[in-house]
Structure 1
Amino acid sequence: MDAEATIDAVRDQTETERDRLGSDKVLIAATDATLESEAVLTAAATRESGIADIFGRWAAETDSDVATQFEAAAEAAMERANRIDADAGDPDGFIDHQKTVTGTARRVGAGLVAAPLVADRFYLQVVSFFINEADERQADAFREIREEASALDHGVTALEHLSEAERETAAVAATDAIGAAYDDYAETLEAMGLDPKPIC
């Protein structure tokens, strides 16, 4: 299983979770039902700042070619956080999960594969929010942020530095991380009395 096949396998394993993480309820969970521009900006800044901190630490702790990919991803996330121009809040369950991940292969999966896949769904709703707010400037800004945050280039390169067995480990870790993001989302909504499952 090469790098691209590894990512495809993660996509297949997490299709349901990622679909639900891209629903319009994701911002309700992320903002504690405070659907206002400032709260949405804070949620976005929290994610990018959290990812930047974690990837930066992983880069310092990694003694392989993968360290370069963690470092580049950390710098990109911090640059996005600065562009969002909002104070970060308390980390969510996805960021908390990332803090527990150990081992280079698992970190590649949880960080450089899962994080972009989760970001793609989250920022889809951030863009939609600002479109509904008739704030085209912010909508355009978050279209760019979504494209950058969901890019899997660092993940592909990092996976190519791993053995096939390590890529399998990375795929499991990515699936677990996306599961953690979904569990946090679902538990947050359920605590509000909302059903995380889509209404058919």
Structure 2
Amino acid sequence: MTPDDVLETVQSDLATELSRLGSSKALYAATEGELEADRVLRAAEVAERAAAETFAAWADDEPDADAREAFESVAADERAHAERVREELDEDVDASADGTDTDDLAIPTHLRSVEETVERAGALLGRILVADESKSQYVGYFVGDADPQTAGVFRDLRGDLDDQRERALELLETVCEDESDWEVATEAAAAVVRVAYEEHVETLESLGVDPKPVC
């Protein structure tokens, strides 16, 4: 098995979930139905900050040097992403004080329970796949809101995910030594997508919205 096999398996097996995580309903869920620019930016900032905190925590207790370096790099990316989003908020809006605790989010909560290196490498890839879908919706929202500058910010952030994906695939190549490792990594990546999708569905249903697309 190869890193590309892991990527293709998750994308194939969870194509429906990933597609719905990249739909307009995903942004509606992320903002709990408050589709206003500041609320959208706050949701994005909280997600980026949660990712930065999570991957920094992984790096702090990761015994594998290659994995530690990868997690530190992604944490640095996410800190920079959070800061760029924060710069787009109105000066009188405190993103970190909007009542959303990063511990309340499903993905970081799940990721913080992942402890083994191979599982973390797979979970990192899974988080990147989910983030790519969500970034597409942030871009689309600000294009529709006639705010090309902010849409451009999110295009840049989404572009950074390409490097993160390559980093995750390289890490999988490094840490997976046998078929069992590849299976663990694949399941770990898929688990992140499932956790994100379950949160998506639960939030939409709590808002009285059918999570399935209208055909």
Q: Same-fold call, TM > 0.5?
A: yes
Q: Distance in 1 between matches of 2:111 and 2:39?
A: 23
| Farther off after superposition, 19-28 or 157-166 | 157-166
Do the aligned residues in 2 keep the contact of 1:52 with 1:75 (CA within 8 Å)?
yes
Q: Which residue of 2 aligns with 1:74?
A: 75
Cα deviation, residue 189, structure 1: 0.3
Q: Which residue of 2 aligns with 1:154?
A: 167
Which secondary structure does the structure 2 equivalent of 1:12 belong to? helix
Q: Which residue of 1 aligns with 2:187?
A: 172
Cα deviation, residue 102, structure 1: 2.0
| Stretches of 4+ aligned residues off by more than 3 angstroms | none
Which secondary structure does the structure 2 equivalent of 1:161 belong to? helix
Cα deviation, residue 121, structure 1: 0.7
Q: Which amino acid aligns with 1:153?
A: E
| Residue segments in structure 1 that go unaligned for 5+ positions in a row | none
CA-atom RMSD in angstroms: 1.2
| Farther off after superposition, 150-159 or 187-196 | 150-159
Cα deviation, residue 128, structure 1: 0.7
| Residue segments in structure 2 that go unaligned for 5+ positions in a row | 90-94
Q: Which residue of 2 aligns with 1:181?
A: 196
Q: Distance in 2 between matches of 1:183 and 1:50?
A: 18
Aligned identity (percent) is: 34
Q: Which residue of 2 aligns with 1:7?
A: 7
Which secondary structure does the structure 2 equivalent of 1:25 belong to? helix
Q: Distance in 2 between matches of 1:39 and 1:31?
A: 6
Q: Distance in 2 between matches of 1:115 and 1:90?
A: 19
Do the aligned residues in 2 keep the contact of 1:77 with 1:149 (CA within 8 Å)?
no
Q: Which residue of 2 aligns with 1:63?
A: 63
Once the two structures are superposed, residues 38-94 of structure 1 have per-residue CA deviations (whole angstroms, 9 ceiling, x without a partner) of: 111111111111111111111111111211111111111111111111524323212
Q: Which residue of 2 aligns with 1:53?
A: 53
Once the two structures are superposed, residues 81-112 of structure 1 have per-residue CA deviations (whole angstroms, 9 ceiling, x without a partner) of: 1111152432321222212222111111112x
Which secondary structure does the structure 1 equivalent of 2:45 belong to? helix
Task: State yes or no: 1:194 paired with 2:209.
Answer: yes
Q: Which amino acid aligns with 2:119?
A: R
Q: Distance in 2 between matches of 1:26 and 1:149?
A: 19
Q: Distance in 1 between matches of 2:182 and 2:61?
A: 19
Query: What are the equivalent positions in structure 2 for 1:71-150 lying under 5 Å apart?
Result: 71-85=72-86, 87-88=95-96, 89-91=100-102, 92-111=105-124, 113-149=125-161
Q: Which amino acid aligns with 2:45?
A: A
Cα deviation, residue 168, structure 1: 1.7
Once the two structures are superposed, residues 3-41 of structure 1 have per-residue CA deviations (whole angstroms, 9 ceiling, x without a partner) of: 121111111121110000011011111011110111111
Q: Distance in 1 between matches of 2:182 and 2:62?
A: 16
Do the aligned residues in 2 keep the contact of 1:131 with 1:139 (CA within 8 Å)?
yes
Cα deviation, residue 166, structure 1: 1.6
Q: How many pairs align?
A: 199
Which secondary structure does the structure 1 equivalent of 2:24 belong to? coil
TM-score after normalising by structure 1: 0.95
| Farther off after superposition, 143-152 or 171-180 | 143-152
Cα deviation, residue 147, structure 1: 1.5
